[in-house]
Chain A
Amino acid sequence: MVHSGLASVRYHRGMANLTRADVEHVAFLARLGLTEAEMARLEGQLNHILEQYAILQTLDTEHIPPTAQTIELANILREDVVQPSISVDEALSNAPERSASGHFVVPAILGGEGGA
Chain B
Amino acid sequence: MTTAPAEAAKGALARYEAVIGIEIHCQLKTASKMFCGCSTDIDGAAPNSHTCPVCLGLPGTLPTINKSAVEWVIAAGFAIEAQTPPATRWDRKNYFYPDIPKGYQISQYQLPLAANGRLTFDTSAGPVTVRIRRAHLEEDTGRLIHQEMAGRRASLIDFNRSGMPLMEIVTEPDIRTAEQARRYAEELRLLMRTIGASDAEMENGQMRVEANVSIRPIGREAFGTRVEVKNMNSMKAVERAIGFEIERQAELIDGGDKVRMETRGWDEPSQSTYHMRPKEEENDYRYFPEPDLPPLMTTPEWLAEIATRIPELPSVRRARYTGEFGLSSYDANVLVNDASATALFEGALAVGAGVSPKLLANWVTGEYLRLAKGDAGGGSVDPVELAALARLVADGAISGTNAKEVLAEHYASAAPVASIVEARGFRQISDSGALGKAINDALAANPAAVADYRAGKAAAVGFLVGQVMKATRGQANAAMVQTALRERLEAAE
Interface residues of A (CB under 8 A from B): 1-4, 6, 9, 11-12, 25, 29, 31, 68-69, 71, 73-88, 91-92, 94, 99, 101-116
Contacts and interface: CB of A to CB of B under 8 A. Distances in A.
Contact of B98 (A12, A88, A91, A106): A106
A101 B46 CA distance: 8
B379 interface: no
B105 A115 contact: yes
Contacts of B109: 6
B39 A85 contact: yes
17 contacts: A2-B212, A2-B226, A6-B109, A9-B287, A31-B96, A74-B295, A76-B294, A77-B296, A79-B67, A80-B68, A83-B36, A83-B38, A92-B48, A104-B98, A108-B146, A109-B144, A109-B155
B37 A3 contact: no
A61 B170 CA distance: 35
Interface stretch (B49-57, B234-242, B484-492): B49-57
Given A80-B32, A106-B154, A116-B168, A91 B68 contact: no
B259 interface: no
Interface in B160-191: 166, 168, 170-171, 173
B159 A73 contact: no
A11 B47 CA distance: 36
A101 B138 CA distance: 28
A113 B97 contact: yes
Given A68-B295, A82-B32, A115-B141, A104 B48 contact: yes
A11 B287 contact: yes
B120 interface: no
B294 A103 contact: no
B23 interface: yes
B100 interface: yes
Contacts of B32: 80-83
Contacts of B322: none
Interface size classification for chain B: 35 or more
Nearest to A76: B294
A116 B51 contact: no
A86 B284 CA distance: 34
Given A3-B173, A85-B49, A105 B156 contact: yes
B146 A103 contact: no
Contact of A80 (B30, B52, B156, B170): B30
Contact of B21 (A2, A25, A101): A2
Candidate in B50, B52, B144 with the most chain A CB atoms within 10 angstroms: B144
B48 A99 contact: no
A96 B193 CA distance: 41
A3 B214 contact: yes
B297 interface: yes
Contacts of A105: 149, 154-157
Contact of B53 (A68, A86, A112): A86
Contact of A2 (B25, B48, B49, B170): B170
A82 B38 contact: yes
Contacts, number: 182
B66 interface: yes
B64 interface: yes
B325 interface: no
Nearest to B97: A112
B338 to A, nearest CB: 28
B25 A108 contact: no
A29 B286 CA distance: 9
A116 B140 contact: yes
Given A82-B38, A103-B47, A114-B141, A3 B21 contact: yes
Contact of A115 (B65, B97, B297): B97
Contacts of B31: 80-82
Contacts of B22: 2
Nearest to B144: A109
A100 B47 CA distance: 10
Given A81-B31, A103-B145, A108-B146, A115 B99 contact: yes
Nearest to A70: B291
A114 B141 CA distance: 8
Given A3-B173, A3-B214, A76-B64, A102 B95 contact: no
Contacts of A103: 47-48, 145, 156-158
B49 A83 contact: no
Contacts of B289: 11, 68-69
B27 to A, nearest CB: 10
B138 to A, nearest CB: 6
B249 to A, nearest CB: 14
Contacts of A9: 282, 287
A78 B31 CA distance: 12
A113 B95 contact: yes
Contacts of A112: 95-97
Nearest to B20: A2
B89 interface: yes
A42 B433 CA distance: 107
